[in-house]
Amino acid sequence: MAKLNIDVPSKWTAQDTFSKIKQLFDETSDLKKFDPQMACTFNDNKMCGSAKGSKFSAELQVNGAATGSAVSIVIELPFLLSPLKGQIKSTVEKKINALLG
């Protein structure tokens, strides 16, 4: 499996950021179109979660700071999708930045 690490800062509080990021992985999100078997679990108290599908798995964590927060996502892709790592990372970062903007 190929791993992608994505770290994005946020101007919002950790709790607000986590709420917004959960929307990205919501059942009605665009991600569900790419992998209909995607299932997500979240731990609101720890502000973390995971998403698993037939084509990928992802772990996310929101960490708070005095002046904002940060989102950390680790995505595991099958080796067949390794050539697309850059494009996938760019797309996910754009979606997160748009969501947190």
Identify the structural domains of the chain with CATH numbers, from first to last: 2-100 (3.30.530.20)
Higher per-residue pLDDT: 56 or 66 = 56
| pLDDT mean across residues, the chain | 88
**pLDDT score of 7:** 94
Confidence of residue 11 (pLDDT cuts 50, 70, 90): very high
Chain length of the chain: 101
**pLDDT score of 5:** 96
Q: What mean pLDDT is predicted for residues 30-35?
A: 71
In 3D, which of 38, 28, 20 has the Cα closest to residue 95?
A: 20
Residue 94's contacts (CB-CB under 8 Å, 6 or more residues apart) are: none
